[in-house]
Amino acid sequence: MAEEASGHSQRKLAIAGMAGNILEWYDFSIYGFFAYAIGENFFPSHSKANSLIDAFGVFAAGFLMRPVGALLFGHIGDRYGRQRALTLSVVAMAVPTVMIGLLPTYQTIGVMAPVLLVVLRLIQGLSVGGEYTTSVVFMIEGAHSHRRGLMGAFGAAAAFCGVMLGSAVGAIVASLMSPQALEAWGWRLPFLAGITIGVAGYIIRRELRNVSDLPPIAPPPMGEVLRAQWPRVLQVAGFKVLESVGFYLMFVYAATYLTEIVGIAKSRALAINTIGMAAAVLMLPVAGAISDRVGRKPVLLLSAGAIIVCAWPMFNLLWHPRLGVPLLGQVGFAILIAMFDGVAPVTAAEAFPANVRCTGVGLSHNLCMALLGGTAPMVATYLIDKTDNEMVPPLYLIGAAIVSALFVLSMKETGKSALAE
C-alpha cells in the first residue's frame, strides 16, 4: 500500500513539474520560429538579414532577464515553496505572450512597436528564468534516489515538448496559408493561443500541491548565497555551455536556417524540426535513466565527444536536396544533444545544498542561457552574414562541446550520492 501511494505521489510530482513547463516553453519558443515575420513587421529594413538580426536580438534580450528571474523565483521557491514559484511563473509568461500577438506593428505605431516588443520579451525572460530550473528541482527532490536522473530528464523533456508544440503549431499554421498572409498576420495566431495554454497551466499548478517530503530549510540571505556559491555557480554554468548553444542552435535557429539559408519551405523546415524534437523527447528519459545506473559524467562526456566528432558531417546533411537526408541530420543532432540535456538537470541539482538549490541551479543555468543560449541564433546569423560561410553553426557547436567536456571533467561524480541537505 505504501508503495502504491509512493507511485501515485511520483506521478503527481511528474505532472506538476512537467505541465506548466510544457506550456511555458511553447509560449517562449514560438517567437524564434516566427522571427523572420517579426523582423519584417517590427524592424523593417532594406536588408532581410538586418531585420532578422534585429528580431533575434530581441529574442536574445529576453534571455538577459533570465538570471534576474532565476534569483527572483529561486528565492520564492527556496523561501515560500516550489509550488508557489511555479504558479506565478506561468502567469508571468502567458500574459505577455498574448500581448505580443495583439501588438501593433512598426507601420502602425512607429518606434513604439519594437520598444513594446522588447518590454514584453523581457517579462517573458523573467518568467522562464524561474520556471524551468524550479520545476526540475521540484521533481528531483521528490524522486526516489535511484530515479533522480530519470525524473530530471522528464523535466527537460517537458521543455522540449513545449518547443516541439510551438514548432508543430507553426508548421500547421504555415501549411494552411500563403507566405504573404503568414508574414502579414498569420504569425500572430500561435501567440494568441497562449491564453488557453496559460489558463490551463495556471489551473494545473494551483490544483497540484508540492508532494516533495523535504523539510523546509530557511535559505540564507541572497548576498550570502552569491558570495558562498559563486565558484559552484560558475562551474555548473560552464558545463551547461553545450546545453545552451546546442538547444537554441539546433532546435530554434535550425528552422530559420533551413528556410533562409538552405532554401527549404517554411512548413517543411518546421516539420523537420518538429520530428527532430520528437526524437529528442524520446531520448531524454533514456539518457537520464542510464545516468542513474552508470553515473552522470560518463553520459555527459560521451555525448559531448560524439558531437565534437559528428557535428560537421551531420550538418552537411542539412544541405541535401532530398527531404529524408536533412531529416536524418536533424534527428542525429537531436539524439546527441538529448543525451547531454537529459543528464544536465540532475547534475546541476546535485551540485547545490537544499537551502540554495533553486537559486543556485537557476542562476547557473540562466547565466549560461543568457550569454550563450539566447544569443546563439543572432550570433550564427551575424557570422554567416559577415563571413559568407554557411558552415559556421557546426563550428560554434563543436566549440561549445569542447568547453562543456572540460568542465564536466572538473566536476565530482554525484550519481550515487545522496542529495546535499
Look at the block and give the residue holding cell 538547444.
Answer: 247
pTM of the model: 0.78
pLDDT in tens, 43-90: 887 777 788 788 878 877 777 787 787 777 777 766 776 667 767 777
pLDDT, position 214: 46
- Please choose, from the candidates 151, 141, 10, 18, the residue with its C-alpha nearest in 3D space to the C-alpha of residue 90: 18
Taking 50 as the pLDDT cut, the residues of the chain under it are: 1-7, 210-215
Q: How many CB atoms lie within 10 A of CB 126?
A: 24
pLDDT at 331: 95
pLDDT at residue 246, rounded to an integer:
94
Handedness of CA 227, 406, 135, 99 (dihedral sign): positive
Averaged confidence pLDDT in the chain? 82
Q: Is 228 exposed, middle or buried (0-12, 13-18, 19+ CB in 10 A)?
A: middle
Q: Could you tell me the CA-to-CA distances from 16 to 136, 217, 357, 399 in Å, in that order?
A: 10, 21, 18, 36
Domain boundary assignment for the chain: 2-208+231-407
Q: For residue 199, how many C-alpha atoms fall within 13 Å in the half-sphere facing its CB?
A: 5
Is the CB of residue 255 less than 8 Å from the CB of residue 245?
no
User: pLDDT digits over 101-157, tens only?
Assistant: 899 998 899 889 989 988 888 888 877 776 777 778 878 887 888 889 999 998 889
CA distances (Å), origin 141, targets 151, 373, 418: 9, 26, 11
Structural element, H or E, at residue 56: helix 48-64
pLDDT the model gives residue 211:
45
Q: Position of cell 532594406?
A: 46
112 vs 92: CA distance, rounded Å: 22
Burial class, 352, CB count within 10 angstroms (exposed 0-12 / middle 13-18 / buried 19+): buried
- Please say whether the beta carbons of 258 and 419 come within 8 A: no
Q: Are 56 and 377 in contact (CB under 8 A)?
A: yes
Q: What is the DSSP string of 168-216?
A: HHHHHHHHHS-HHHIIIIITHHHHHTHHHHHHHHHHHHHHSPP---PPP
Per-residue confidence (pLDDT) for residue 411, from 0 to 100? 93
Q: How far does CA 251 lie from the centroid of its chain?
A: 9
What is the torsional sign of CA 107, 111, 116, 119? Answer: positive
Alpha helices in 81-187 (DSSP H): 82-102, 106-109, 112-141, 148-176, 179-181
- Count CB neighbours of 108 within 10 A: 10
- The whole-number pLDDT of residue 13 equals 56
**Residue 282: what pLDDT?**
95
Per-residue confidence (pLDDT) for residue 395, from 0 to 100: 93
Length of the chain, in residues: 421
DSSP conformational letter for 145: G
Q: Which residue has the cell 529524408?
A: 324
C-beta separation of 196 from 26 below 8 A: no
Instruction: Record the cell numbers describing residue 376, joined without a space.
Output: 546563439
DSSP helix/strand/coil, 267: helix
Using alpha carbons, select from 126, 191, 135 the residue that is nearest to residue 158.
Answer: 135
CA distance 139 to 290: 18
CATH fold for the domain made of 2-208+231-407: Growth Hormone; Chain: A; (1.20.1250)
- Distance (Å, whole) CA 37 – CA 185: 9
Query: How far is 165 from 270, CA to CA, in rounded Å?
Result: 11
Rounded to whole angstroms, the Cα distance separating 323 from 85 reads: 43
